[in-house]
């Protein structure tokens, strides 16, 4: 009966895999093509298109706006001669200028072609005038630019952030990986009458690549091997990322040019529109951000009260350790930088299944080093010292004593609000004597592990 049950489970699992593969067939049919369609707008393009109207459009010329990095596409299999970003950024910039509604872009990239065509028109009209003896109209003059836009892609950083995770057990599991690249664009406006650089802006955009795969590889029966796998890979189009960065640069150039008085709004009331106020807020946040775009601020007050609970695990001369609970509270003093000091007191139990049980009070002082004190989340390292105060009952002998210890640990704090932080911590405490269990044997003293979760309440009195 048991053998039939196992065969039924294997058959059910195999059918489930088959149905899953059918359900995923949408991304597993690479030979289905689609018809040509209009290009999708870049994310954030609506902010550029919906800018308030200008008092008068600015005639702008773009001679050259290209990739200045000369960087090739990164490849794990060797050298790749494909460029990392598109080489047609001049065309992308002209499109962004047109979409903004603030500029009248004029052709300057291929000015030689334009001038040659005008020569052909003049020559043709002159020949027609000689034949028909009728005057031909003159060509209108070319528009001249009020400003010239210069700049380009000045940086492409590959593998700015990489990571992943995976789990496999008994031949089945999955994994995921991701990678972030970063492209940076500079744009400047130059007055054609004076040569003055009116305004320079720069923007950056990350390019995300990620892959997920799931598979199983195991023997379901003697000489019967089951193997199945699926997954997907997503690469953010680099061209769309460049378009988004250029759109943002044009938008920033317009807004900052308005604030500087180089060009004007049709309605002065639009200066209080959401796009202008959001830009001012974003600019202030960027000034306090790190190179990865994370907002840095003094978030944690210098004084905090903490409370937590967790687990304790005795490691000593008795075997059969048992996990017990603990409660604690304390006060934390934080510096403006990476260091913090706290004083804590708590109570917990250290015991084994048999022979040994200690109800211990403890007091300790810990020094913290936070890696990112100005972010909402920060991993930290912990070093400290303390003392156990306990009453032991070992083989019916009661002992009142204390044992000093040193400790080391790691943790993570996440701020839910500016005043409340969730604290996760794991540490090991090594006793400076071997009196805890009243047995002295081996090379090392007794020690114990703790794992805690707590709350930090920042009072912000000295912030």
The confidence band for 392, taking pLDDT boundaries of 50, 70 and 90, is: low
pLDDT in the model for residue 187: 95
Q: What are phi and psi of 456, to 5 degrees?
A: -110, 125
pLDDT in the model for residue 462: 52
pLDDT in tens, 87-145: 889 999 999 999 999 999 999 999 899 999 999 999 999 998 888 888 888 889 888 99
The confidence band for 62, taking pLDDT boundaries of 50, 70 and 90, is: very high
Contact 381, 410 (CB under 8 A): yes
Considering the four listed CATH numbers 2.40.160.20, 3.40.50.620, 3.40.50.11540, 3.40.1350.10, the one that applies to the domain covering 303-458 is 2.40.160.20
pLDDT in the model for residue 373: 86
pLDDT in tens, 410-424: 999 999 988 899 999
pLDDT at 326 over 90: yes
Choice between 395 and 206, residue whose per-residue pLDDT is larger: 206
Beta bridge partners of 164: 177
- Chain centroid to Cα 431, Å, comes to 41
Determine which of 20-29, 156-165, 427-436, 452-461 has the lowest per-residue pLDDT on average.
20-29
CA angle, 82 then 87 then 90, to 5°: 175
pLDDT in the model for residue 436: 81
pLDDT in tens, 437-451: 777 776 788 899 999
pLDDT at 3 over 70: no
CA-closest candidate to residue 299, choices 288, 313, 284, 311: 288
pLDDT in the model for residue 351: 87
Residue ranges of the chain assigned to CATH 3.40.50.10610: 41-108+145-287
pLDDT in the model for residue 11: 45
Contact 56, 281 (CB under 8 A): no
pLDDT in tens, 22-48: 545 445 555 577 788 888 888 888 888
Contact 390, 401 (CB under 8 A): yes
- Chain centroid to Cα 46, Å, comes to 23
Choice between 328 and 47, residue whose per-residue pLDDT is larger: 328
Q: Which residues make Cβ contacts (< 8 Å) with residue 119, sequence separation at least 6?
A: none
Choice between 265 and 3, residue whose per-residue pLDDT is larger: 265
pLDDT at 426 over 80: yes
pLDDT at 454 over 90: yes
- Measured N-to-C along each axis, helices 89-100 and 238-260 cross at an angle, to the nearest 10 degrees, of 50
Tokens at 103, concatenated: 């500029």
Tokens at 90, concatenated: 């001049």
pLDDT in the model for residue 393: 54
The confidence band for 248, taking pLDDT boundaries of 50, 70 and 90, is: very high
Mean pLDDT, residues 155-166: 88
CA distances from 267 to 51, 96, 287, 347 (A): 12, 22, 29, 68
Q: Which residues make Cβ contacts (< 8 Å) with residue 314, sequence separation at least 6?
A: 321, 322, 324, 350, 351, 352, 356, 358, 446, 448
d(CA 370, CA 206): 26
d(CA 346, CA 448): 15
pLDDT at 63 over 60: yes
Q: Say what percent of the chain tops pLDDT 90.
A: 42
Contact 130, 122 (CB under 8 A): no
CATH architecture observed for domain 41-108+145-287: 3-Layer(aba) Sandwich (3.40)
Mean pLDDT of the chain: 85
d(CA 48, CA 58): 16
pLDDT in the model for residue 79: 58
d(CA 94, CA 42): 15
Mean pLDDT, residues 317-321: 84
pLDDT in the model for residue 18: 46
pLDDT at 461 over 70: no
Contact 352, 314 (CB under 8 A): yes
pLDDT at 395 over 50: no
Query: Is the pTM higher than 0.85?
Result: no
Tokens at 5, concatenated: 């049950």
Choice between 299 and 411, residue whose per-residue pLDDT is larger: 411
Mean pLDDT, residues 198-214: 92
Residue ranges of the chain assigned to CATH 2.40.160.20: 303-458
Mean pLDDT, residues 366-374: 90
pLDDT at 399 over 70: no
pLDDT in the model for residue 422: 94
d(CA 448, CA 352): 12
pLDDT in tens, 75-99: 766 656 788 888 889 999 999 999 9
């Amino acid at each position: 009966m048991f053998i039939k049950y196992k065969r039924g489970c294997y058959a059910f699992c195999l059918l489930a895999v088959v149905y899953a593969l059918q359900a995923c067939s949408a991304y597993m049919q690479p030979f289905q093509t689609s018809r040509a369609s209009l290009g999708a707008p870049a994310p954030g393009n609506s902010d550029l298109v919906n800018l308030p109207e200008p008092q008068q459009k600015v005639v702008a010329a773009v001679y050259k706006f290209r990739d200045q990095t000369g960087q090739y596409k990164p490849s794990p299999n060797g050298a790749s001669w494909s460029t990392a970003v598109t080489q047609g950024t001049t065309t992308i910039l002209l499109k962004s200028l047109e979409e903004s509604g603030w500029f009248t872009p004029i052709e300057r990239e291929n000015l030689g072609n334009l001038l040659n065509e005008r020569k052909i028109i003049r020559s043709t009209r002159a020949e027609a005038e000689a034949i028909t003896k009728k005057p031909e109209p003159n060509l209108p003059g070319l528009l001249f630019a009020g400003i010239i836009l210069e700049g380009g892609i000045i940086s492409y950083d590959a593998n700015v952030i990489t990571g992943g995770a995976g789990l496999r057990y008994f031949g089945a599991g999955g994994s995921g990986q991701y990678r972030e690249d970063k492209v940076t664009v500079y744009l400047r406006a130059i007055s054609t009458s004076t040569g003055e650089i009116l305004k320079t802006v720069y923007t950056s955009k990350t390019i995300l690549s990620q892959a997920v795969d799931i598979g199983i590889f195991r023997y379901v029966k003697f000489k019967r091997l089951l193997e199945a796998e699926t997954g997907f890979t997503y690469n953010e189009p680099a061209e769309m990322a460049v378009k988004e960065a250029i759109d943002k640069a044009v938008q920033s150039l317009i807004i900052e040019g308005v604030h500087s008085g180089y060009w004007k709004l049709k309605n002065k009331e639009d200066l209080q529109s959401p796009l202008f106020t959001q830009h001012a807020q974003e600019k202030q946040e960027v000034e306090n951000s790190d190179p990865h775009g994370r907002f840095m601020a003094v978030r944690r007050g210098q004084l905090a009260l903490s409370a937590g609970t967790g687990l304790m695990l005795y490691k000593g001369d008795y075997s059969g350790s048992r996990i017990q609970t603990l409660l604690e509270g304390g006060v934390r003093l934080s510096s403006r930088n990476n260091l913090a000091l706290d004083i804590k007191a708590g109570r917990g139990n250290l015991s084994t299944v048999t022979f040994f049980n200690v109800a211990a009070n403890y007091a300790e002082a810990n020094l913290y080093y936070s890696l990112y004190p100005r972010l909402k989340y920060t991993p930290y390292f912990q070093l400290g010292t303390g003392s156990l105060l306990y009453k032991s009952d070992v083989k019916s002998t009661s002992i009142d004593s204390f044992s000093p210890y040193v400790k080391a640990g790691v943790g993570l704090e996440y701020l839910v609000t500016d005043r409340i932080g969730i604290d996760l911590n794991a540490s090991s405490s090594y006793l400076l004597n071997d009196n805890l269990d009243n047995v002295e044997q081996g090379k090392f003293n007794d020690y114990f592990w703790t794992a805690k979760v707590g709350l930090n309440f920042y009072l912000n009195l000295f912030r």
